[in-house]
Structure 1
C-alpha cells in the first residue's frame, strides 16, 4: 500500500479525548478556583506537578490565570530548572528571552510525531506549549506515550532500531529549512566545525556554501527516571517517505539520499524501508491522543517519554513554546528490554 494513501496524513484518526474524563494522558490539572494565578500556585505545588509528569509523561494545566507571553515565560521558568535561550530548531520571539514560536508549516498539512531534538547531540527533556490565541479550528497538538508505543510496535519490529540506532542527515538548504547560521546561532564556520567536532557530528561544506551534517543517535532509550524503554526519535519527521507522494517522488528524482533536505537511515548506513516507516506511522497514530486547546492552556511534556505532532488548522492559532533542562544525547542509555 502506498503510504500517501493512508488517512493519517491529516492525523484525524488520532483519538480525541477530553482530559480529566478518567484519563491520565495527558493528566489534567486544574485549580480549585478558576483563574488562580499559576505562578503563586506553583510555589506550593511544583513538586506535585513534577511527580505527575514523571508518572504520566504529559500534564495539561488548565483554568489558571496565564494572560500572556510574559506570564507563560514566568511559568516556564518555574517548571524547568533551566530554560534554553538558544534552541536552533525554533524561531525565538524578540519579545522574550526563552520563548519561541511553534514551528511554521502550512496550515493544511500535519507535522508528524517527533521527540523534540532527538536528532541532535543536545536536547531538551522538558517542553512546554502555551495557547496564546484560540480562534482556530483543528490545530491540536496530538501526543503519544513513547513507552506505550514501544510496547505496541513489539520487540521483533523494534529490534533493528535498537541494535543499529539511527543516522540523521540534514542539508541546510536556503528556503527549505532554517539556515545553518540560525541553527548554530553563528555566522562563523570555524565555530560550527568546533561544535560538530566536540559533539561527534560529521559535517560537509558544499560548493554552494550550504552545510550538510550527519548525526548518530539512538532510536530507543531507557527513560532515566523510570527505566522503561521509550521509542525516542524523529524518524517520521526525517524519512523522505513521510512527505506527500508527489513531493517525495520529485525529491528522489533529482537528489541523492545524502542531499535530501532531511533524511534518516539506520546507524549502519542501511536504508529504513518505506514499509517500516509506514508501520511506525500507523501504530503511532493508533496509540496517540489529541485534545482541543483552550485559551491559557499550558501543556508540559516529558520529552523523553512523549512525542508530539500538529494537526492541520484554520484560523488564528498561536501556540508558544519553551524548552529546558537540556541533556547530552550521550548521557541517555540506549536500548530496550
Structure 2
C-alpha cells in the first residue's frame, strides 16, 4: 500500500476511538509513483481489500492530490472499484447524467443550504455507497459536511430518549410534492416525469407501486408522492450498532409551501423544537473539509450523513451511487 498511498492528516479531521474521520489518502511523496489517473486506477485495483476495510472502519475516504480532472476520469475511478451501479430512479434531487455512472450533484442554486441526510433514505433500497468528485472548487463555502450516523444516534438518544423511542416504534412517512416539469430553483425540484423516467402517468404508477410509493395526483399535473412508514433507527449488522438513518430535515420542504413533508408513521407531526436541536447536534459533530479540485470522496451511505453548505462562487461537484 505504501508504494501508492499515504494517509494524510488535515486540520478538519475528528478522531473517534483514535480512528480519524474521514480518512484521507494522497500519493506517497517518498516514492517515484506518479499521481496520474491510470496509477490511481492501478492502486485501487491492487489495494481494493484494504480500501474496503478502511471505508468500513472510517465511513469516508477522500482521495486527494491525484490527477483526476474530468467527469470521464471520475467515471474511470468509480468503475475501478467494481461496485454495482444503482440507478437514480425514484430520487427527487434535480440531477443530470454526465457520462457513464456520473451525475451532477444536486443542481439547485449553490447558495441554498442542504441539511444532513442519508442519500435516498426515503427509498426502499438506498445506495450503500456514494462517490463525490470536485471538478470546480468554490473559493469559499460550498463544503460537503459529513457526520457519523451512529454518533448522531447516540447523542440524540441520550438527549431525547422518548423522541427516539417514538421514532423506533412508528418510523417516518415522507411526502413530497412533485411538479409536472423539472424546477432547478430548489433542492427537491425533480419532476415526477424525471423521478419515474416516464411521461405516462400509468407507467409512473406502476413503477411507484414496485417501489412501495403511493401517488396522489394533483389538479395542476403534479403529484404527491408518499413513502413509508420507513424505519429511522436501524441496526447495522456489519458494525453491530444502531444508526440514525433518515432525511428528517426540512419538514417544510422548499417548493412545497407549508405542506408538512415528513411525519411520524402514525401521521402525527414532528416536534419542530427537537428537530432543530437535532440539526444542531449534526453541526457540532460534523466535519466540513473545503473542496480541492480533483478530490474524490467515497462515502459509506449507511455510516455517514452528508450535507451541502452554501456558496456564492462557482462550484461543480459530481456524484455517483452504488448498490
Q: TM-score range by the shorter chain?
A: 0.7 to 0.9
**Which residue of structure 2 aligns with residue 184 of structure 1?**
196
In structure 2, the residue corresponding to 1:64 is in which secondary structure? coil
Question: 8 Å contact 2:127–2:322 — kept in the other structure?
Answer: yes
Partners of 1:58 and 1:302 within 8 A in 2: yes
Aligned match of 1:35: 35
Return closer, same or farther for 1:154/1:95 CA change in 2, 3 Å cut-off: closer
Q: Distance in 2 between matches of 1:45 and 1:172?
A: 43
> Does residue 222 of structure 2 align to residue 210 of structure 1?
yes
Tell me how far 1:85 sits from its aligned partner: 4.1
Task: Tell which deviates more after alignment, 175-184 or 48-57.
Answer: 175-184
Displacement after TM superposition at 1:169 (Å): 0.5
In structure 2, the residue matched to 1:44 is 46
Q: Could you tell which deviates more after superposition, 62-71 or 192-201?
A: 192-201
- Among 167, 170, 173, the residue aligned to 1:164: 170
Name the residue aligned to 1:292.
Answer: 290
Conserved in 1, the CA contact under 8 Å of 2:19 and 2:58?
Answer: no
For residue 209 of structure 2, what is the aligned residue in structure 1?
197
Distance 1:307 1:20, change over 3 A: closer
Single out whichever of 34-43 and 312-321 deviates more from structure 2: 34-43
User: Which of residues 108, 112, 121 in structure 2 aligns to 1:118?
Assistant: 121
Cα contact 2:133–2:296 (8 A) shared by 1 = yes
Give 1:207 deviation, angstroms.
Answer: 2.0
Q: 1:313 aligned to 2:311? A: yes
Match of 2:107 in 1: 104
| Larger relative contact order, structure 1 or 2 (CA cutoff 8 Å, min sep 6) | 1
What is the aligned counterpart of 1:277 among 275, 278, 285?
275
CA-to-aligned-CA distance 1:55-99 (integer Å, 9 cap, x gap): 111111112221211110111122252123444435554540211
Alignment partners' CA distance in 1, 2:295 and 2:51: 15
Q: Check whether the contact 1:115–1:306 (CA below 8 A) recurs between aligned residues.
A: yes
Number of equivalent positions:
295
User: Secondary structure in 2 aligned to 1:290?
Assistant: coil
Q: Give the corresponding residue for 1:137.
A: 140
Q: Deviations over 1:176-217 (max 9, x none)?
A: 621100011111222221222223222111222211111011
Give the superposition deviation at 1:39: 0.7
Equivalents in 1 of 2:95, 2:108: separation in Å? Answer: 16
Partner of 1:331: none
Q: Which residue of 1 is the match for residue 3 of structure 2?
A: none
Residue 230 in 1 paired to residue 232 in 2? Answer: no
In 2, Cα distance between equivalents of 1:80 and 1:44: 12
The answer to whether 1:267 aligns with 2:265 is yes
More displaced 10-residue stretch of structure 1: 154-163 or 215-224: 154-163
CA contact (8 A) 2:24 2:61 kept: yes
Distance 1:43 1:82 in 2: 15
Structure 1 stretch 17-26 or stretch 139-148: which is displaced more? 17-26
Shift of 1:132: 0.7
Q: Which residue of the partner structure matches residue 149 of structure 2?
A: 146
